Amino acid sequence: MGAEHLVSKLDDLDRAIIRLLQADGRRSNRDIGRLLDVAEGTIRARLKKLHEHHEFEIVVLKNPSAFGLDCFAHLQFHVTPKYAVEFADELAAFREVVFSSVMASRYNVYGVAITKSRDALDKFLETKVAPLDGLLDYRVLENVEAFRFDYHWMV
Amino acid sequence: MVSRNSGPPQIDEIDQKLIRLLEKDGRTTNRALASALGITEVTVASRIRRLSEKGIAQVVGILALESGGFNFSVMIGVTVKKGNSIPRVAKAIAKIEESRGVSIVDAYYDLFASVVARDQEHLKEIAESKLFSIEGIESIEFFVGIDPRPYKPEWALNIS
């Protein structure tokens, strides 16, 4: 990838549009055009291009606790190396898991899970994760207090 | 500081439907949302504003980490020296531009966090110039991610 990533190809207008939408994704094209002194059609065309590769998207961010999800945990799995890639994929496919990665350490798969409670997390691990091929052991690091939790990038 | 909301969920059935429609297309006009929900445009606007102000749900544009060339995700388990404040160290890590999730955890370490970097040179800079100089850290264990799956962005604790 190197320097070929999206952010390195953005011009000032793209960045200005992204910044406005990072603050408020509901701002209309007309509003953005007026603020930046550019035609509405230009804004529409730029946004279409930005959305093309799904690197810039309009999403609804939700606070888990407002939806009854009070348990947030880091999971470290020790998986037989032969199964690590498959394990990370299967983990990522679960609704409870928001991120997973193969790691270069003894705990060779990492995951982040969000569930209703610690009980729900333990049940999820026992019933859905434990049966996956290659799992040897795992550690659960439950969040006590979060100081930062965002996985996107600001321009 | 980012903290969890307390108390029962403050969303009713209309909010839930509204959120679902916005998840399909966050840029649907208030007029279209109003007619889909059978409420007025003014009510749509005020509900969206309330969800955002209460930190429940917010429509935002997000730029995936990969779009900034952040191909490297590294988790860190941090132990804080006795007599030092764990929240102070957590805040110092959270202030680093490249840090992402930062939290106090209940086992194995005092803090767990992730850091994103463009390449090894960038990771070196983050570690040596930013992390290592934070007062009161006893140890940092690095877990280098070599094959991350895309992050599902819908959950976030720090909504405005």
Q: How many domains does chain B have?
A: 2
A66 touches B: beta carbon within 8 Å = yes
Same domain, B70 and B43: no
CATH number at residue B30: 1.10.10.10
Are B44 and A26 a contacting pair, CB within 8 Å? no
What DSSP string runs through A105-138? SSS-EEEEEEESSHHHHHHHIIIIITTSTTEEEE
Q: pTM higher than 0.90 for the full model?
A: no
A83-124 pLDDT per residue, tens: 999 999 999 999 999 999 999 999 999 999 999 999 999 999
B113-128 pLDDT per residue, tens: 999 999 999 999 999 9
Residue B78: inside a domain, yes or no?
Answer: yes
Give the largest Cα separation in chain A, rounded.
Answer: 59
Question: Where in the sequence is the domain holding B19, given as residue range(s)?
Answer: 13-53
Which residue do the tokens 């909301």 mark? B5
Which residues, including other chains, have CB under 8 Å from residue A88's CB and lie 6 or more apart?
A100, A101, A102, A109, A111, B147, B149
Same domain, B69 and B124: yes
- Report the CATH fold assignment for A64-142: Alpha-Beta Plaits (3.30.70)
Same domain, B26 and B85: no
Same domain, B76 and B112: yes
Same domain, B129 and B84: yes
Give me the residue spans of the domains in chain A.
Answer: 11-60, 64-142
Which residue do the tokens 């935002």 mark? B60
Same domain, B44 and B77: no
| CA of B29 vs chain A CAs: smallest distance (Å) | 8
Residues of B in contact with A5 (CB under 8 A): 66-69
Are B86 and B141 a contacting pair, CB within 8 Å? no
Query: Residue B50: CA atoms inside 13 Å, Cβ hemisphere, count?
Result: 13
A109 → chain B, closest CA residue: B145
Share of chain B above pLDDT 90, in %: 74
φ and ψ at B155, to 5 degrees?
-100, 130
What DSSP string runs through A79-95? E-GGGHHHHHHHHHTST
Residue B157: inside a domain, yes or no?
Answer: no
Binned at pLDDT 50, 70 and 90, residue B2 comes out as very low
Residue B139: inside a domain, yes or no?
Answer: yes
Are B102 and B51 a contacting pair, CB within 8 Å? no
Cβ-defined contact of A146 to B56 (cutoff 8 Å): no
Alpha-carbon radius of gyration of chain A: 20
Interface-testing mutation among B51, B143, B144, with chain A (most A C-beta atoms within 10 A)? B143
Same domain, B72 and B100: yes
A7 → chain B, closest CA residue: B68
Domain formed by A11-60, architecture:
Orthogonal Bundle (1.10)
Pairing of strands B72-80, B111-117: antiparallel
